[in-house]
Amino acid sequence: MLDAEVRELMQPFVLSDYQVQEVYSRFCLEVARGLKRSTHPQANVKCFPTYVQDLPTGDEMGKYLALDLGGTNFRVLLVSLKGHHDATVDSQIYAVPKDLMVGPGVDLFDHIAGCLAKFVEKHDMKTAYLPLGFTFSFPCVQLGLKEGILVRWTKGFDCAGVEGEDVGRMLHEAIQRRGDADIAVVAILNDTTGTLMSCAHRNADCRVGVIVGTGCNACYVEDVENVDLLRADFKKTKRSVIVNAEWGAFGEGGQLDFVRTEYDREVDEKSLNRSEQLFEKMTAGMYLGNLVRLVLLRALERKLIFKQSSRRPEFASVLQRNEEVFETRYISEIEDDSFPEFASTRKIVKNLFGLEKASVEDCQTLRYICECVAKRAATLVAIGVSGLVNRTSNRRVIVGMDGSVYRYHPEFDAYMRQTLQKLVKEDKEWDIMLSEDGSGRGAALVAAVASKTK
């Protein structure tokens, strides 16, 4: 049985029906404000047009390179589109050293071009002409398919000299500086766009793409008439366009203050991008572990966990060591654990604190804390998804999803569905689908569709 005091501790994370409805209304309003030219500058859900106007048909063919920057890893991929909704992907992961994440931007792009050159060499493609799709998962104002101006860094990146610049051009210049491969950057896209495209490749009803990984964001298909910021020449021929919501920034106008907790405020205050990306800080993998860490510190202080142990102050100092000690993946592992053995939970507790055999009660308390933090994240994500699903003009809408939190948390999908059931309009038929390598396959598809359009 859970202690009533533990429930009380976690109460601020439990969203009431009223709060869910209220966040939903505020979110929908921000989306509408983001789309409108007159309110766009003040809106915090920016709704950037992506210039991707065609969804894949499934018969795309050809070889494409793709780059994926924006999560924990940087990847280079070779994607072969084979028609018949089929594709194969060959990829290589490269580390982005911490100092490059916050160093001069030119160094970051030189590193990327260097990895790309190694990859091309390894695959014996140095002389081939290769079109490249660049999945760059940060907020960008797109001026066309190949031009993306970085608005701000997120997720722990902070390289000087890139904000306000065209990242497509920076990549092109870095490739030129090396001069050892014939690669053309033909498209810049967000990972959410890649997710949507890769799911639409499999299922033609996909209209929303969502990432809940290191960061959190979504895109969706909107009618061109509603997208004021889309260049007029792009409105003439096509009915719709993918809009990158950049919902991570939701709440920066105070819209979420009525549900943010003291822990959310602390996460924000200690972050590299203070007062920014407030919705992301309640939903994304980069922050969820830290939220649990802060709640655990409070639980220790109030003697709500490890009550029997005299080593509580020592445990607290472990948690105070740094913001990453309680990794987000632990949340998934703990919620996936079986009762009453709690084998994974006990292992995590042992590794963290050196405590041999945590009691069943302690394991339950830890699990409840994780559950409340994850459930709130899933509920908030589902509020956003519902807002976007309800905006699309299709009756049947598939939501393409990706990201480590969604993928590995055992209940995230189920938590999301509970909220979607409450908020999605009754006349809609919806479902969620797991994306297969959106950042690779999706990037190749955007590049392919772009070449087709030409």
- Active-site residue, from 54, 68, 191, 337: 191
**Closest distance of CB 135 from ligand BGC, Å:** 9
- C-alpha distances (whole Å) from 211 to each of 25, 306, 400 are 22, 35, 9
Residue 395 identity: R
Question: Which residue number, 297 or 374, has a Cβ lying nearer to ligand BGC?
Answer: 374
Strand 140-142 to 206-212 pairing: unpaired
Can you tell me the distance from the alpha carbon of 247 to that of 245, in angstroms, rounded to the nearest whole number? Answer: 5
Name the site residues for ligand BGC (rule: CB under 6 A): 70-71, 137-139, 154-155, 190-192, 211, 213, 215-217, 246, 248, 280
Active-site annotation holds for 191: yes
Question: Which residue number, 167 or 444, has a Cβ lying nearer to ligand BGC?
Answer: 167
Question: Which residue number, 141 or 325, has a Cβ lying nearer to ligand BGC?
Answer: 141
Residue 157 identity: F
Residue 113 · residue 170 · CB < 8 Å: no
Neighbours of 261 (CB within 10 A): 18
Supply 172's token pair: 């092109």
Residue 328 · residue 286 · CB < 8 Å: yes
Question: Which residue number, 54 or 191, has a Cβ lying nearer to ligand BGC?
Answer: 191
**Closest distance of CB 364 from ligand BGC, Å:** 32
- Active-site residue, from 155, 337, 402, 437: 155
**Closest distance of CB 232 from ligand BGC, Å:** 26
Within 13 Å of residue 62, how many CA atoms lie on the same side as its CB?
20
**Closest distance of CB 247 from ligand BGC, Å:** 9
Residue 331 · residue 409 · CB < 8 Å: yes
Strand 240-244 to 216-223 pairing: antiparallel
- C-alpha distances (whole Å) from 88 to each of 76, 91, 350, 439, 444 are 14, 10, 41, 13, 11
Catalytic residues: 155, 191
